[in-house]
């Protein structure tokens, strides 16, 4: 158990993927109810102005970068349990990846949905991350200085209910680098 140093009044947090001896294990979700689960993750890919303009106009060396990134994100969500140790295989009912281009930043929103015993936060996060990595891969010939961050925006369903990120927490600073 890990204690909360900031607030001694709150009970210690128990990490579900660790045994009492501190060994990693897969959480048993067999007794949990099957409920509707949904999660949305966001990646913000920062790039130089020239790179952004080439992405907007479609003048990229490797073809339709945005379509490839969307497809990569969807494929990755379906393979999450193979990529993340101790992550359960979830039967996804829907995955959507959208990419908007705004102010020099590619904003990737990935949503994952399932009716299952465990959440789909990791599927949404993996989808957004993989779409961002695909953008990097397909644009690196133009701008190796690109960077990205990923965060969970919201999750619904399950025992813990709904969680929403404060808007202030999901802002990213623009990339200052050149091409």
> What are residue 66's phi and psi, to 5 degrees?
-65, -40
- Domain holding 74, by residue range, is 35-158
Q: What tens digit of pLDDT does each residue of 19-57 get?
A: 667 666 666 665 677 889 999 999 999 999 999 999 999
In a domain, 25, yes or no: no
In a domain, 42, yes or no: yes
Instruction: Pick out the chain residues at pLDDT < 50.
Output: 1-5, 172-179
Cα distance from N-terminal residue to C-terminal residue, the chain: 47
CA dihedral 111, 114, 119, 124 (to 10 degrees): -20
Output the pTM of the full model: 0.81
- Scan for tokens 């990120």, then name that residue: 165
Residues in the chain: 179
Total domains, the chain: 1
In a domain, 164, yes or no: no
CATH number at residue 139: 3.30.70.640
In a domain, 178, yes or no: no
In a domain, 20, yes or no: no
Assess whether 102 carries a catalytic annotation: no
Catalytic pick among 28, 137, 143, 149: 137
């Amino acid at each position: 158990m890990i204690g909360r140093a900031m607030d001694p009044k709150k009970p210690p947090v128990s990490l579900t993927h660790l045994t009492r001896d501190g060994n990693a294990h897969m959480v048993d979700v067999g007794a949990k109810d099957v409920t509707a689960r949904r999660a949305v993750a966001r990646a913000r890919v920062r790039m130089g102005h020239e790179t952004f303009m080439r992405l907007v106009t479609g003048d990229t060396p490797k073809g339709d970068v945005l379509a490839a990134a969307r497809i990569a994100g969807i494929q990755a969500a379906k393979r999450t349990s193979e990529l993340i140790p101790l992550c359960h295989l979830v039967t996804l009912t829907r995955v959507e990846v959208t990419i908007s281009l705004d102010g020099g930043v590619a904003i990737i929103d990935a949503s994952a949905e399932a009716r299952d015993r465990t959440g789909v936060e990791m599927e949404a996060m993996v989808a957004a991350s993989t779409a961002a990595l695909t953008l990097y891969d397909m644009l690196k010939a133009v701008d190796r200085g690109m960077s990205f961050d990923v965060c969970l925006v919201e999750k619904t369903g399950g025992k813990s209910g709904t969680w929403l990120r404060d808007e202030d927490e999901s802002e990213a600073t623009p990339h200052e680098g050149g091409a």
